């Protein structure tokens, strides 16, 4: 009995059979040592990488081997280059294996590569090349500005990937649900995810992130970090000086301003009057040297940005400088000049005033070391004690007189 030739077997297979099934049947039915067959392996590679396309031969006897691209252009004819594309290289040609490489792979290279073996009939297998396009780090687009009391609308965009990337918004470890949009660009996909979140002043600078997942990243992710930029009206606070201001002192007021955007300029003014001639403004600071009571009044600091304005005021009260000088006249002698001296007799001053030891003629304000509350308490206790003593004394006196009157009739009877 004559062996069945492979060409006859291939023609006996019905047309509806797929190429893979026909090849499998062909291999199973090839029971003679002269049966030849070819097998191909599918390949998946990242864009920009190198793909290896292999054709495995069975019982190869030197027949013609042809490799074609998805457009059915012949790349190699029995190991000889047929298409002038240096990205394709023949790296192996044996009786068992034919292998070519394709460098700098792009999505346009995708498709089926034909491994064809020409014998009495043509055998061929298709190696499917799949190209993965991992996403770049996504970008964040501001669709609506975040204003205090309103909403922020942010869109995370992954412009190119294959297959489509998966996007996820995160804040403080929690996912924020977004509206996903997918656009087919032919070979690749564009994906976006949009969120709307209410914002307050405290949310300014809050950290968010957009994460992109893709099979080509092997479990890793691409992350775009973003900080909320919340716009709000300014706040103004004047930092007052410490202590009491007297004539001759210097005044420094600092205007502390916040806001987003931060106001570029601050305005100093005096209510119902103009600023003193000696007033100097440097940035947010107002300085007035050699104060006098004519400088008394209310000073105003104002700031403004695109979202509102604010102001704060400070009322200045300058006190007098009180000084007392006493002179004791002396009788001059012919040989000595007149002598001027400060009186050694203590001068009666109010409790809060005293003489300055360095300048006996000056009177400065003093503060009692004993709190007024303690003094008042002691006085109240003394008054209470006196009243109690008076009450006890009166009571004892009245009782003694009553006892005397009771005994007087008894003495008279005796």
The per-residue pLDDT for range 125-175, each reduced to its tens digit, is 999 999 999 999 999 999 999 999 999 999 999 999 999 999 999 999 999
In a domain, 306, yes or no: yes
Could you tell me if 119 and 6 are in contact, meaning their C-beta atoms sit under 8 angstroms apart?
yes
Q: Is the pLDDT of residue 406 over 80?
A: no
Q: Of 132, 149, 178, which residue is a domain's last? A: 132
Rg of the chain over Cα atoms, rounded to whole angstroms, equals 52
Range of the domain at 303: 233-316
Q: Of 230, 254, 279, which residue is a domain's last? A: 230
pTM of the model: 0.62
In a domain, 4, yes or no: no
Q: Which residue has the higher pLDDT, 311 or 121?
A: 311
- E strands, 78-219, where? 80-81, 88-93, 97-102, 111-118, 122-132, 139-144, 146-147, 151-161, 166-171, 174-176, 179-184, 189-198, 207-213
Q: How many domains does the chain have?
A: 3
Q: Which residue has the tokens 């049966």?
A: 35
* Same domain for 200 and 212: yes
Residue 360: what pLDDT?
40
In a domain, 381, yes or no: no
Q: Of 295, 316, 337, which residue is a domain's last? A: 316
Residue 405: what pLDDT?
53
Q: Is the pLDDT of residue 79 over 50?
A: yes
CATH assignment at residue 161: 2.60.40.10
């Amino acid at each position: 009995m004559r062996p069945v030739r492979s060409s006859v077997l291939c023609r006996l297979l019905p047309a509806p059979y797929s190429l893979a099934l026909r090849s499998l049947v062909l291999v199973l039915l090839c029971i003679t040592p002269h049966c030849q067959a070819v097998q191909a392996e599918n390949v998946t590679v990242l864009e920009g990488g190198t793909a290896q396309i292999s054709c495995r031969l069975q019982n190869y006897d030197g027949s013609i081997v042809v490799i074609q691209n998805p457009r059915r252009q012949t790349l190699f004819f029995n190991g000889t280059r047929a298409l002038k594309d240096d990205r394709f290289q023949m790296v192996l040609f044996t009786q068992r294996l034919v292998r070519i490489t394709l460098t700098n792979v792009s999505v346009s290279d995708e498709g089926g590569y034909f491994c064809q073996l020409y014998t009495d009939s043509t055998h061929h297998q298709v190696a499917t090349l799949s190209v993965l396009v991992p996403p770049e780090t996504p970008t964040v687009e501001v669709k609506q500005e975040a204003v205090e009391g309103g909403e922020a609308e942010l869109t995370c965009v992954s412009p190119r990937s294959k297959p489509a990337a998966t996007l996820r918004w995160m804040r403080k470890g929690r996912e924020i649900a977004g509206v996903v949009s997918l656009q087919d660009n032919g070979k690749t996909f564009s994906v976006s995810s949009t969120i709307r979140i209410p914002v307050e002043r405290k949310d300014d600078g809050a950290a968010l992130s957009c994460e992109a997942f893709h099979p080509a990243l092997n479990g890793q992710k691409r992350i775009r970090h973003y900080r909320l930029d919340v716009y709000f009206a300014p706040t103004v606070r004047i930092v007052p000086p410490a202590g009491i201001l007297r004539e001759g002192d210097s005044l420094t007021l600092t205007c502390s301003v916040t806001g987003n955007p931060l106001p570029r300029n601050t305005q100093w003014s005096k209510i119902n009057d103009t600023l003193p001639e000696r007033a100097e403004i440097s940035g947010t600071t107002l300085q007035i040297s050699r104060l006098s009571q004519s400088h008394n009044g209310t000073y105003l600091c104002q700031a403004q940005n695109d979202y509102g304005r604010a102001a704060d005021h400070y009322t200045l009260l300058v006190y007098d400088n009180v000084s007392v000088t006493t002179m004791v006249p002396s009788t001059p002698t012919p040989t000595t000049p007149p002598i001027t001296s400060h009186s050694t007799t203590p001068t009666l001053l109010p409790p809060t005033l005293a003489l300055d030891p360095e300048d006996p003629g000056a009177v400065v304000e003093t503060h009692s070391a004993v709190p007024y509350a303690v003094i008042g308490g002691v006085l109240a206790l003394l008054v209470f004690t006196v009243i109690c003593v008076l009450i006890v004394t009166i009571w004892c006196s009245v009782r003694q007189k009553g006892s005397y009157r009771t005994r007087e009739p008894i003495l008279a009877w005796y």
